[in-house]
């Protein structure tokens, strides 16, 4: 990751991607192989179709999204429409990072990625919040 403190620039999409990839690589066995199969994408903000589908009005309130079929619901009969994907939304992440002011960007991105990977494994938000107090 580039050192943004010298330039005064906000972390780039590539910086967010690098942090997210590191979080995926840090996931322990036995979950690591399945987690590494998820594609990572970084966009500035969620697009209108994503927000509409999720019934979200404020694009800055969505930092990440799992787009795929959870492993608990996959069938050999499913025709893949594309890879399971974790979307990260750079501007929303940076806004939350600044607003929180008490976590590193790496920690925030890692928490978002782990949250979305949990959806890949079939956990819902309630399941995740029981084991990860961060989301309460």
Per-residue model confidence as pLDDT tens for the chain (136 residues): 544 545 668 999 999 999 999 999 988 888 888 889 899 999 999 999 999 999 999 999 999 999 988 877 777 666 667 789 999 999 999 999 999 999 999 999 999 998 898 888 787 777 676 656 554 4
pLDDT, residue 6, reads 56
Any residues with CB less than 8 A from the CB of 125 and at least 6 apart, and which?
135
For helices 105-120 and 90-100, give the axis angle rounded to 10 degrees.
130
Vertex 95 angle, CA 91 and 99, to 5°: 170
Closest alpha carbon to 79 in 87, 67, 69 = 69
Report the alpha-carbon angle 77-27-130, nearest 5.
Answer: 85
Pairwise CA distance, residues 63 & 93, whole Å = 5
Give the span between the Cα atoms of 113 and 106, in whole angstroms. 10
Instruction: Give me the half-sphere count of Cα atoms (radius 13 Å) on the Cβ side of residue 100.
Output: 15
Question: Is domain 13-67+81-127 annotated with CATH 3.40.50.620?
Answer: no
This prediction's pTM? 0.83
């Amino acid at each position: 990751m580039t050192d943004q403190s010298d330039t005064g620039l906000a972390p780039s999409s590539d910086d967010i991607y690098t942090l997210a990839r590191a979080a995926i690589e840090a996931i322990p066995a036995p979950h690591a192989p399945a987690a590494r199969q998820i594609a990572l994408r970084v966009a500035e903000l969620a697009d209108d179709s994503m927000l509409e589908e999720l019934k979200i009005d404020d694009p800055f309130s969505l930092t990440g999204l799992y787009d795929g079929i959870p492993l608990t619901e996959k069938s050999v009969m499913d025709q893949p429409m594309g890879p399971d994907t974790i979307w990260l939304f750079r501007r929303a992440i940076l806004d939350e990072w600044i607003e929180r002011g008490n976590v590193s960007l790496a920690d925030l991105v890692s928490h978002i990625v782990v949250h979305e990977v949990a959806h890949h494994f079939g956990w819902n938000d309630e399941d995740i919040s029981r084991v990860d107090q961060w989301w309460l």
